[in-house]
Structure 1
Amino acid sequence: MEPARALRRIAFLLERENAPEFRARAFRRAAAAVEELGPGEVARRASEGRLEEVKGIGAVTARVIAEAVRGEVPAYLAQLEAEQAAAWGPGHGGRLRALLRGDCHVHSDWSDGGSPIREMAETARALGHAYIVLTDHSPRLRVANGLSAARLREQLQAVAALNRELAPFRILTGIEVDILDDGRLDQEEELLAELDVVVGSVHSKLRMPAEEMTPRILAAIENPHLDILGHCTGRYVQGKTRPESAFDAEAVFAACARFGKAVEINSRVERLDPPMRLLRLANELGCLFAIDSDAHAPGQLDWLSHGTARAEAAGVPPARVVNTWPAERLLAWARGHGRESG
């Protein structure tokens, strides 16, 4: 196994098991350092025991590199693979997981993700996806390095170039746009109209009273530019927990069904949003769904199985999950809300 490949696989496995972020990043830094050195220099330093002199390579990553150079499967990699084999083996996530063709909520290092667009796309392709929707944050979310209109336009050019290289895999253009206090969307309308898919989420004033939060969300759903309502309750169920936002769920989901908008089933382990009672309600009201990873790192792209398992438990029909559709049907659905073609 090539050392860089082994290091990146370890990073992927750490991200998938939701290990502390700094651990996975250490392996990705080491992979980048190895590629910069080149195979000959890596082999020479490994034989001389001088790998740790290279910036970005520490004791653990040096051991992984040395084992890979010797033609061995690095011990740490073998350990992680064995530990995760049962939970992530064939069939994980149920039958629905195998039907997903893409992921409609993915972040990159253009906002608060940890990896470049290319790395996210190539990992998704390796997982069997046909497409991802790139949904970095909008300007108001400064803590997440949200994209100004100018930066988003620059990103669109970068995506176009990558798509020429990665075809037939597709990176669909998008954004996770903040739903502002009055229900407006936090980006220029003309620019939103150019995007393929728009996810809208509430990130501020999550404790707003229900009588204010409900019309806020409803206004966003009625906006022709919004396609998917992201992590609707804003809750955190792991780590630093956060309660659900209060709103009239029946009114919100009925509006999603009426306007043909999708309710996101967010697969992040700390979110698992919406809660099962609300997921069942949305299903009973005939909503469309998008089962999304909300990935901020490559290994998190495999978290879709958390969402598919919950969708199956709630009885969600696969035909109403928009990312079981091929890209062209997904795009036609999004354009059907009144937005221009991306």
Structure 2
Amino acid sequence: MQAHAGEVPEYLARLEEAHGELVPLADDVAEFRAALRGDLHAHSDWSDGGSPIREMAEAAIGLGHEYLALTDHSPRLTVANGLSAERLERQLDVVAELNEELAPFRILTGIECDINVDGSLDQTDELLGRLDVVVASVHSDLRADAAAMTERMLAAVANPHTDVLGHCTGRLLIPREQREGRRQRPRPESAFDAEAVFTACVEHGTAVEINSRPERLDPPLRLLRLAVELGCAFAIDTDAHAPGQLDWQGNGCERAVETGVPVERVVNTRPADELLEWSRG
């Protein structure tokens, strides 16, 4: 609302004051960013995003994207208004209608699916099988011991429906505002055997997400370097909850360049049909 009124949003003003003025992307980062054809992790007002699906799609089109995966939360995450199976079914119909209007741009059907404590995914197999992109993420019991968290993540990575392992450490670097006005404290990384999990990602063809949200920047650089070493594929995503946040991919590209991520291993550099061939393979 502040931006619409021609004002500098308070949130942006605070960030600029704390972290300095925005600077253009370095040439190598800008080149990497230009290779991305879409974003595989974004939320709408169907779960905890702030904007309708159409507005998110139109913002992606404005950035030059060819596609955007709509990955609202799964039902277990009630605090984020996660989608029940019935609501997800309705969303699929809405996306189909929008895709007819917005072609050749494509909204890919998807979900950010909670990884349950036992490693299963928080949605029915039938529905997961109908989606274009499944991002599997841990949102609960983040302080579990390393052995338990490793087994949980290994089970999710091995699930044939999982395409992308989302924000793998679950860390929060800086506080962020909560809907009810409380502030969330910085959160340390979850403990797990990263080598085992990333090796499983390679084995099962699951991409490791490079989460571009400023408060996440997940995985940390040391783990990102390990994932590169082990041969992982990657998805550079924004985890956007508002249209303006779709421009955060530059953050992930900076980290990809810094750690030597080969651009050909980033799955969202692929055209939509090729991406879908990968995700359904």
The verdict on a shared fold, with TM-score over 0.5 as the criterion, is yes
**2:248 maps to 1:303:** yes
Cα shift at 1:273 = 0.2
What percent identity do the matched residue pairs reach?
65
In 1, Cα distance between equivalents of 2:220 and 2:228: 12
Out of 60, 68, 90, the residue aligned to residue 124 of structure 1 is 60
3-state DSSP of counterpart to 1:279:
helix
Cα shift at 1:14 = 4.1
Partner of residue 23, structure 2: 87
Distance 1:18 1:145, change over 3 A: farther
Q: Indicate if the aligned counterparts of 2:25 and 2:250 stay in contact, CA closer than 8 A.
A: no
One-letter amino acid matched to 1:135: T
Partner of residue 131, structure 2: 195
Cα shift at 1:93 = 4.2
Partner of residue 120, structure 2: 184
Write out per-residue CA displacement over residues 279-324 of structure 1, whole angstroms, 9 at most, x where no aligned residue.
Answer: 0000000000000000001110000000000001000000000001
Cα shift at 1:92 = 9.0
In 2, Cα distance between equivalents of 1:190 and 1:130: 27
Out of 237, 261, 264, the residue aligned to residue 292 of structure 1 is 237
Q: Indicate if the aligned counterparts of 1:235 and 1:244 stay in contact, CA closer than 8 A.
A: yes
Partner of residue 105, structure 1: 41
Write out per-residue CA displacement over residues 161-209 of structure 1, whole angstroms, 9 at most, x where no aligned residue.
Answer: 0001111110000000000000000001100000001000000000000
Report matched runs for 1:216-295 at 5 Å: 216-239=152-175, 240-295=185-240
**Where in structure 1 are there 5+ consecutive unaligned residues?**
21-82, 337-342
Write out per-residue CA displacement over residues 106-155 of structure 1, whole angstroms, 9 at most, x where no aligned residue.
Answer: 00000000000000000010011000000000000000000000000000
Paired positions, count: 268
Q: Indicate if the aligned counterparts of 2:173 and 2:216 stay in contact, CA closer than 8 A.
A: yes
Q: Indicate if the aligned counterparts of 2:29 and 2:257 stay in contact, CA closer than 8 A.
A: no
Partner of residue 181, structure 2: none
In 1, Cα distance between equivalents of 2:191 and 2:77: 21
3-state DSSP of counterpart to 2:73:
coil
- Kindly indicate whether structure 1 or structure 2 has the higher relative contact order, using CA contacts under 8 Å at least 6 residues apart: 2
Partner of residue 267, structure 2: 322
- Structure 1 segments, 4+ long, off by >6 Å, are none
3-state DSSP of counterpart to 1:147:
coil
Partner of residue 136, structure 1: 72
In 2, Cα distance between equivalents of 1:159 and 1:152: 10
One-letter amino acid matched to 1:162: L
One-letter amino acid matched to 2:72: D
Cα shift at 1:95 = 1.7
3-state DSSP of counterpart to 1:302:
helix
Q: Indicate if the aligned counterparts of 2:28 and 2:257 stay in contact, CA closer than 8 A.
A: no
**Where in structure 2 are there 5+ consecutive unaligned residues?**
176-184
In 2, Cα distance between equivalents of 1:87 and 1:223: 41
Distance 1:216 1:187, change over 3 A: same
Name whichever structure is richer in helix by fraction. Answer: 1
One-letter amino acid matched to 2:73: H
- Please say which structure displays the higher CA radius of gyration: 1
In 2, Cα distance between equivalents of 1:114 and 1:322: 27
In 2, Cα distance between equivalents of 1:16 and 1:306: 18
Cα shift at 1:16 = 9.0
Q: Indicate if the aligned counterparts of 2:3 and 2:9 stay in contact, CA closer than 8 A.
A: no
RMSD across aligned positions (CA): 2.2
Partner of residue 142, structure 2: 206
In 2, Cα distance between equivalents of 1:272 and 1:146: 23
3-state DSSP of counterpart to 1:232:
coil
Q: Indicate if the aligned counterparts of 1:16 and 1:300 stay in contact, CA closer than 8 A.
A: no
Out of 93, 110, 125, the residue aligned to residue 157 of structure 1 is 93
Distance 1:18 1:213, change over 3 A: farther
One-letter amino acid matched to 1:288: A
Distance 1:9 1:289, change over 3 A: farther
Partner of residue 182, structure 2: none
